[in-house]
Homo-oligomer: A and B are copies of this chain.
Amino acid sequence: MKEQTAVIALSALAQEARLRVFRALIGAAPDGLTPGALSAMLDVTPSTLSFHLKELMHAGLVSLERDGRNLIYRPEIEQMNALLAYLTDHCCQGRGCAPARTRRRVTC
């Protein structure tokens, strides 16, 4: 992962409403959630929610599928895993500390 990509992904998560949205999507994976459901459960106005979902999309952290009248957002687990790896890579210059010896990955 490039530095700029990581900054964009971290910025997307570094906001209360967006972090709630992302975690709600993680919890609802792999089914996903509609903006309407998210708006109701997180008490965010539709236009504000839409703004935040766009940020998460731009960061590659969520994906979107249309199902008839409904839109379904889901978390992009691989992007999340790439971000986690970026944050912990090269720990202790590779020597000694047994970084990433056990790795946190989400597989769904």
Q: Which residues of A63-108 have CB atoms within 8 Å of chain B's CB atoms?
A: 77, 80, 84-85, 87-93, 96-108
Binding site for B on A (CB under 8 A): 3-4, 6-7, 10-11, 13-16, 19-20, 22-23, 26-30, 77, 80, 84-85, 87-93, 96-108
Let me know if B19 and A14 touch, CB within 8 A.
no
Let me know if A13 and B16 touch, CB within 8 A.
no
B28, B85, B91: the one within 8 Å of A26 (CB): B91
Asked, given contacts A10-B13, A107-B97, A107-B99, whether A92 binds B29 with beta carbons under 8 Å apart, the answer is yes
**Sampled A-B contacts (30; CB under 8 Å):** A3-B16, A3-B19, A6-B19, A7-B15, A7-B16, A7-B19, A10-B10, A10-B14, A10-B19, A11-B15, A13-B87, A14-B14, A26-B89, A26-B91, A27-B90, A27-B92, A27-B93, A29-B92, A30-B92, A30-B97, A77-B91, A80-B88, A84-B87, A97-B107, A97-B108, A99-B107, A101-B105, A102-B102, A103-B104, A104-B105
